[in-house]
Amino acid sequence: MPNLKIQGRTRAQESSSAIERMYITMRHLFNRGFYKPMGVSGETLREALLILRPEIYGSVADDKAELSGLLYVIDRLPKGIEECRFINLTSDEGYGNSHFKPIIPPKRRRNCYRIDEEQMNIEITRGRSEIYDILTHLTFLFIESHKIMRRVVIDEEGNVTRDWQKLEKAVLQKEELTQAEREVALTHTANILGRTFNEVTGIYPKFTIPENQERFLSLIYWLGKLAISEIVENNKRIITFSQVLRERLGQHIHGEIWADKIKQYLLSENLTHRPIHIISANMHSVMNTLYTPVALKAEMKKKSALGIYEDLSDSGNGALRTKVAKVALSKGMKFIEDESGTNIDVQVFDTAKIENGYKIEGFAEKPEDEKPVILVMDYAFGEQAYETMDELLKPYNFEENEIQMNVKSISIMGKAGILEGAKGDIMIPTAHLFEGTADNYPFKNELSKEDLEGNGISVVDGSMITVLGTSLQNKDILRFFHDSTWNVSGLEMEGAHYQKAIQAAAKLRGNIDEDVKVRYAYYASDNPLETGSTLASGGLGTTGVKPTYLITEKILEQIFNS
């Protein structure tokens, strides 16, 4: 037993050290301005990732290809990146005003531009966490590409196997593949990847996009082709960071523009003196909770509130969604679309314009100046949470006057990985720890475990670890955090950054009330300690609807009763 404990601790220490090395290396490469991911300069990143072996990247350290991890990564990178030798990370440098058409990855809102056959530009407007995210995914992608290369190149001259020749013929064929031709190509691809025909045919349709049914075959071909070119012709892939990006990062340029637009609206509507409650959440649950009883009276007679919320979460129910949004916009909601590059939209709710408030008796008789203003901001990404919250809580300078917002509470709700439970369970944090550092942020959470229990959903409390990236976690390091005296119940990417900004504004800078109320609650998107329950295993479906609305209702109850 002691040996097992030592082995577990050693593996956790190795993993922690690997994450720290990746963090330091990525910052160094950024300051340097460029590097070759599969060259000497990228070696530390590759080695650290292979030591770490994150759950989300599955069998990255094995000879066989990792298919679920590949799907997860490719959904977060721009279409066509596998064909590009040159990947350039830029700031917002005006490409949106050019003939280049933005490419937006389906699972990450960021603008990317295909400059030519060889170059992809990726616009970074959400801070360092976005860079870590991209570099980690690219490192995984290029490691996988070299696995393909090693399985198909048979000599130093660059001769390739018959399997590769057949795959190349299928990918470059101009006519659409027949079912028989597709299955032949998938057979050869299975040999190249070291996977079974069943595994390959099972994953193939998940890569399909409307404009390219054969995207899976094309992806494998181009990954292998560029890796072969690197080894045989020494044409290394290169990642560069633009000079403007390197100068701007950390200056809060996008966050300041974003926050000023919100404050300008609040000032124009004479709302800055009213009790303001900030919620970091999605763009639907607060709106739906406040306005569904008014907008969908007939539907609510036939179905439970949860049933209605599940219907509203289905993108196929556009008419129902539009109905709620129209009522919201006519009765106190203002939608502020982001134009700053933060990719964070905002809703402002003037509750004085909501009929009967929110399930609160006597709300209508309350003086208007005492009725809350609710500001809902969409999810930030990693370190961007500090930038946006820090800027939002600063006083607004208007005509040489410094105007402070009357912020009464800040609530953070969202998805997180859980370490003891299952998808859809709820976590109530008591502190945030920042991974890779000794930084810790204990706080008084206005939401308690008892507030959310008794609703058919498991609720856990304890510390939450704010990670550098969800894609960098493995079971060993997470078990250490869970089993040790740190008592960690889950992991997410923004909590410590939000709390750092809130504490600075309240306790040090005096930008908001020192006794501002803080609420944090998360629902589980995955359990990275369970095989088959990681983020790569797919989304929540309707599992997330009940915890999302339960947390939303509890936050609103506390706001309206304050």
Count of CB atoms situated within 10 Å of the CB of 201? 16
Q: How do residues 61-97 score in pLDDT, each as one tens digit? A: 888 999 999 999 999 999 999 999 999 999 999 998 9
Determine the average pLDDT of the residues in 393-399.
90
Sign of CA dihedral 323, 329, 333, 337: positive
**What is the C-alpha to C-alpha distance for residues 31 and 86, in angstroms, rounded to an integer?**
18
The per-residue pLDDT for 156 is 82
| Whole-number Cα distances in Å, 436 to 4, 23, 232 | 24, 8, 39
Segments of 356-439 assigned E as strands = 373-377, 396-398, 401-403, 407-418, 426-434
Any residues with CB less than 8 A from the CB of 179 and at least 6 apart, and which?
A: none
Determine the average pLDDT of the residues in 241-258.
89
Question: With b meaning 16 or more CB within 10 Å and e meaning fewer, what string describes 23-59?
Answer: bebbeebbeeeebebbeebbebbbebbebbbbbbbbb
| Whole-number Cα distances in Å, 88 to 52, 104, 488, 533 | 26, 15, 37, 34
* Tokens matching residue 280: 């970091």
Determine the average pLDDT of the residues in 313-322.
88
As a whole-number percent, the residues of the chain with pLDDT over 90 amount to 71
pLDDT band, residue 357 (cuts 50/70/90): low
- For tokens 């295993």, the residue is 537
Determine the average pLDDT of the residues in 127-153.
94
Q: Beta 346-350 vs 373-377: how paired, if at all?
A: antiparallel
Count of CB atoms situated within 10 Å of the CB of 397? 11
Determine the average pLDDT of the residues in 421-438.
90
Q: How do residues 264-301 score in pLDDT, each as one tens digit? A: 999 999 999 999 999 999 999 999 999 998 889 888 88
Q: Does residue 508 contact residue 522 with C-beta atoms inside 8 Å?
A: no
The per-residue pLDDT for 539 is 52
Give burial (CB, 10 Å; 0-12/13-18/19+) of 242: middle
Q: How do residues 196-225 score in pLDDT, each as one tens digit? A: 999 999 999 999 999 899 999 999 999 999
**What is the C-alpha to C-alpha distance for residues 78 and 241, in angstroms, rounded to an integer?**
17
Q: Does residue 53 contact residue 19 with C-beta atoms inside 8 Å?
A: no
Q: How far is CA 321 from the centre of its chain?
A: 24
**What is the C-alpha to C-alpha distance for residues 517 and 393, in angstroms, rounded to an integer?**
14
Q: Angle of helix 545-560 relative to helix 285-295, nearest 10 degrees?
A: 80
Any residues with CB less than 8 A from the CB of 427 and at least 6 apart, and which?
A: 416, 418, 421, 459, 460, 461, 462, 464, 489, 490, 521, 522, 523, 524
Q: How do residues 498-544 score in pLDDT, each as one tens digit? A: 999 999 999 999 999 999 999 999 999 888 877 555 555 555 557 78
Of 103, 87, 79, residue with least CA distance to 138: 87
Is residue 4 pLDDT above 50, yes or no?
no
Reduced to 3 DSSP states, what percent helix, strand and coil does the chain have, rounded to the nearest 5?
50, 15, 35
The per-residue pLDDT for 481 is 82
As a whole-number percent, the residues of the chain with pLDDT over 70 amount to 96
Determine the average pLDDT of the residues in 403-414.
95
Q: Beta 119-123 vs 112-114: how paired, if at all?
A: antiparallel
